[in-house]
Amino acid sequence: TTLCRSLHKGTSYFFKLAARNKVGYGEEIVKEITIPEEVPSGFPLNLHSESTTSTSVQVTWLPLVLADRNGIITRYTLHFKDMYAQLKPTELPVAATATAVTLNGLKPDTTYDVKMCAYTSKGPGPYSPTVQFRTLPADQAVFAKNFHVKA
């Protein structure tokens, strides 16, 4: 008996078995076994913001580690909201191949809460810890666009 450990969910494995004696190996038997998918057990990593303006921000992340995927990631969902508003968060579906998304139409000088989860065909995994980012003040963005230096 042999026990196979560390198999990944949502993955197919091929096992080959053949008897051996003094003469050599016998006929080989091949068996394919697929481990069923489950919801992800982890979340997107290193969620942070880049390229912030007064009304937009680019959010980037790293994919789940293989052991936490539990199958093929089919998409992500990003939730974001003004941290002081009592409104429900905006839910943004994101392609499974993406590692960045730009949020537009945001309010200037506002702090936003952002969290994210991944999906397999079985459903969503847990959300990442919430991170915060703040958009720039409206007047600072205008200043930056009209700034020139003369030598």
pLDDT digits (tens, 9 = 90+) for 56-77: 999 999 999 999 999 999 999 9
Task: Report how far residue 124's alpha carbon sits from residue 93's, in angstroms, rounded to the nearest whole number.
Answer: 12
Q: Quick one: average pLDDT of 109-133?
A: 96
Task: Report how far residue 76's alpha carbon sits from residue 28's, in angstroms, rounded to the nearest whole number.
Answer: 42
Q: Taking 80 as the threshold, does the pLDDT of residue 147 lie above it? A: no
Task: Report how far residue 69's alpha carbon sits from residue 90's, in angstroms, rounded to the nearest whole number.
Answer: 24
Q: Taking 70 as the threshold, does the pLDDT of residue 17 lie above it? A: yes
By the 8 A CB rule, do 80 and 92 touch? Answer: yes
By the 8 A CB rule, do 128 and 94 touch? Answer: no
Task: Report how far residue 76's alpha carbon sits from residue 97's, in angstroms, rounded to the nearest whole number.
Answer: 9
Q: What is the DSSP letter of 49?
A: E
